């Protein structure tokens, strides 16, 4: 049985297969509309979510299956002191696959040790978010045609942003990718990403402070929100929250075929006027999240057509 806890749990071949399957689903959704008949997805969300939880649920419904679960820790037995291990043992009696989001790093991994059914990490603290990464990869594939040979700028909260950590790890295995890390000093990527991913694999990367100095070089700009809920004190958050705002003026400096990605939710970091620019791909990205989760759940449950 396979779980998805860290993006590196999947080989490049497995990721490519999931993306291929997602593309087939997009081409002919009717063909897949009953393949999970009788199957149930449980969404265990101990932390807020809109896209991730609802796209998981929509994905299972569009495969003909059903969903159950909870959308906040308050409404689960976690408030009575139940452990994650016990929760997944029990939920595994009711569902065929589990998607779990938790504020504590490592909680879904712990769950996977005890779960009788596949567990998908739907975000664990500031650590990983592998299904957002699959969403990002499918989007890059659809928008740019390939998962290699480009310059990607990751901008914003690179310290606490779990989508950034997972995306960097996954992309580190593709050819010819040049990383530009745009953040204030306080929100740089964690040291383990620098040593274990970039340096260990000899991957070119640069850390810069402003968007302006690199806009013209980028093929992909990955914007992120400053992760308010992971700050230790509010004053730091307030000081850093508006570090970067992508607006139409900055978009003028960018290549005509650059794409803008954002895992969403957006707070202030992209001016809504940018939404009208055809290079703004973040709502298309949110739609891709549903298709790639359909492909992922079929793969982990061994459902074939
Ligand atoms: C992201 C997350 O939860 O990490 N959201 C998402 O799943 N699309 C990004 C964020 O919250 O900033």
**97 located within any domain:** yes
Please check whether residues 146 and 25 belong to one and the same domain: no
- C-beta of 266 in contact with ligand 1 (< 6 A): no
**1 located within any domain:** no
37 is catalytic: no
- C-beta of 289 in contact with ligand 1 (< 6 A): no
Please check whether residues 85 and 198 belong to one and the same domain: no
Please check whether residues 108 and 166 belong to one and the same domain: no
For the record, the structure tokens of 269 come out as 């970091």
For residue 302, the model assigns a pLDDT of: 97
Which protein residue has the closest C-alpha to ligand 1 atom 8?
263
Please check whether residues 145 and 233 belong to one and the same domain: yes
> Where are any strands of DSSP class E within 157-240?
177-182, 205-208, 220-223
**212 located within any domain:** yes
Give, in degrees to the nearest 5, the angle at Cα 240 between 157 and 101: 40
- C-beta of 55 in contact with ligand 1 (< 6 A): no
208 CB contacts (<8 Å, ≥6 apart)?
A: 180, 181, 182, 214
209 is catalytic: no
Q: What CATH number is given to the structural domain containing 161?
A: 3.40.50.1370
**124 located within any domain:** yes
Please check whether residues 123 and 139 belong to one and the same domain: no
Q: What is the number of structural domains in the chain?
A: 2
> Distance (Å, rounded) from C-alpha 27 to C-alpha 30?
9
> Which three-class secondary structure state does DSSP give residue 277?
coil
Please check whether residues 154 and 263 belong to one and the same domain: yes
For ligand 1, the distance from its centroid to the CA atom of residue 173, given in whole angstroms, is 23
CA distances from 243 to 209, 224, 264, 273 (A): 10, 11, 17, 18
CA distances from 232 to 25, 227, 235 (A): 43, 11, 9
Please check whether residues 98 and 194 belong to one and the same domain: no
**2 located within any domain:** no
For residue 75, the model assigns a pLDDT of: 86
Please check whether residues 112 and 159 belong to one and the same domain: no
Structural domain including 46 reads 7-128+289-301
Which protein residue has the closest C-alpha to ligand 1 atom 6?
263
10-residue mean pLDDT profile of the chain (305 residues): values are 96 98 98 98 96 98 98 90 96 98 97 98 97 98 98 98 98 98 97 98 98 98 96 94 96 98 97 98 98 98 95
H-type alpha helices, 67-129? 84-91, 107-114
Please check whether residues 88 and 186 belong to one and the same domain: no
**228 located within any domain:** yes
Q: Which of 51, 188, 250, 266 is catalytic?
A: 51
The tens digit of pLDDT for each residue in 182-220 reads 999 999 999 999 999 999 999 999 999 999 999 999 999
127 is catalytic: no
**295 located within any domain:** yes
101 is catalytic: yes
Please check whether residues 224 and 141 belong to one and the same domain: yes
Please check whether residues 18 and 56 belong to one and the same domain: yes
248 is catalytic: no
- C-beta of 132 in contact with ligand 1 (< 6 A): yes
Q: Which of 39, 53, 101, 142 is catalytic?
A: 101
- C-beta of 299 in contact with ligand 1 (< 6 A): no
Please check whether residues 121 and 141 belong to one and the same domain: no
Q: Which of 3, 39, 129, 241 is catalytic?
A: 129
């Amino acid at each position: 049985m396979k779980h998805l806890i860290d993006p590196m749990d999947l080989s490049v071949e497995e990721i490519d297969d999931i993306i291929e399957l997602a593309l087939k689903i997009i081409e002919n959704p009717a063909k897949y509309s009953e393949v999970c008949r009788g199957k149930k997805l449980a969404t265990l969300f101990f932390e807020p979510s809109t896209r991730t939880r609802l796209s998981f649920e929509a994905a299972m419904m569009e495969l003909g299956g059903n969903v159950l679960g909870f959308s906040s820790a308050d409404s689960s037995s976690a408030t009575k002191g139940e452990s994650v291990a016990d929760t997944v043992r029990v939920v595994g009696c009711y569902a065929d696959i589990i998607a779990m989001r938790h504020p504590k790093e490592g909680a879904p991994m712990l769950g996977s040790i005890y779960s009788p059914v596949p567990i998908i990490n739907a975000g664990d603290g500031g650590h990983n978010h592998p299904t957002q990464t699959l969403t990002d990869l499918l989007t890059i594939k659809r928008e740019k045609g390939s998962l290699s040979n480009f310059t990607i700028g990751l901008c914003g909260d690179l310290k606490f942003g779990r989508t950034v950590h997972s995306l960097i790890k996954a992309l580190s295995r593709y050819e010819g990718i040049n990383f530009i890390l745009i953040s204030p000093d306080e929100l740089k990527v964690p040291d383990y990403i620098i040593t274990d991913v970039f340096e260990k694999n000899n991957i070119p990367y640069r850390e810069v402070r402003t968007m302006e100095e690199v806009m013209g070089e980028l093929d992909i700009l990955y914007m992120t929100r400053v992760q308010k809920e992971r700050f230790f004190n509010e004053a730091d958050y307030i000081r850093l929250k508006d570090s970067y705002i992508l607006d139409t003026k900055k978009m003028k400096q960018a290549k005509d075929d650059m794409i803008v990605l954002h895992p969403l939710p957006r707070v202030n970091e992209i001016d809504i006027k940018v939404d009208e620019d055809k290079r703004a791909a973040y709502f298309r990205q949110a739609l891709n999240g549903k298709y790639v989760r359909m492909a992922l759940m079929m793969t982990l449950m061994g459902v074939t057509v």
